[in-house]
Amino acid sequence: MTNLAWDQRPLEERVSYNPAFLALLLREAAAGYGEETQRPLPLPLAFLVLPLVLHRPTRESLPRTVATSMPVWLQEHQVLREGFAGRMGSISSAIREALVVGTGTGLFRLDDAALHVGAEPGRGRRATTETRAISSRAHFAGRWLGRAGDVETIYYLWSVKP
């Protein structure tokens, strides 16, 4: 992602990394995480969840159930872990923008280095099948991360250094 003004960025980047869309995905992930843990989503996991669901091969390979062990799944899908840290780094500035939008619109609030679920997004939003699928997988990813252990363990499993 570049540091260009919004209107100067390539169309694909403006569509894929739209901060409002990413904020909605973060809210879904935080809601899913909260369902599993009754705690807010730790901020470092916000930087991990979006590369999980925006990268189509990873998103489409995620398990169908949160009961699937993350270490076992990663062992079976090692190729998806390769390059993951780079994908995380390349989207980090877009995630920061999404955090600003999400807190500014009340989708979530940041407190104690965690995302607390806020206002329900307005219904009646038109969404494509792919957008709904990504949103659903963000919710799932939040739940799955909630079962995977602490932040340090999860980062270690994905070969990412905080």
122-132 pLDDT tens trace? 665 666 778 88
Query: 33 pLDDT exceeds 90?
Result: yes
Tell me, what DSSP letter sits at residue 113? Answer: T
Of 92, 93, 70, 68, the residue nearest 81 (C-alpha)? 70
Share of the chain above pLDDT 90, in %: 73
Looking at the chain, how many residues does it have? Answer: 162
**Tokens, residue 20:** 């409002």
Give the up-direction half-sphere exposure of residue 108: CA atoms within 13 A in the CB hemisphere. Answer: 30
Cα separation, 103 vs 82, in Å, equals 32
Average pLDDT over residues 148-159: 95
Residue 37 pLDDT level (bands cut at 50, 70, 90): very high
Instruction: Point out the least confidently predicted range of 32-36, 72-76, 81-85.
Output: 81-85
- The pLDDT assigned to 23 comes to 95
Task: Write a three-state SS string for 120-159.
Answer: CCCCCCCCCHHHHHHHHHHHHHHHHHHHCCCHHHHHHHCC
Provide the pLDDT for residue 16. Answer: 61
* Average pLDDT taken over every residue of the chain: 88
Say whether pLDDT at 51 is over 60. yes
Give the mean model confidence (pLDDT) for residues 137-152. 96
Task: Please report where in the chains the tokens 């206002």 appear, as a residue.
Answer: 119
DSSP labels, 7-30: GGS-HHHHHHT-HHHHHHHHHHHH
CA atoms of 152 and 149, how far apart (whole Å): 8
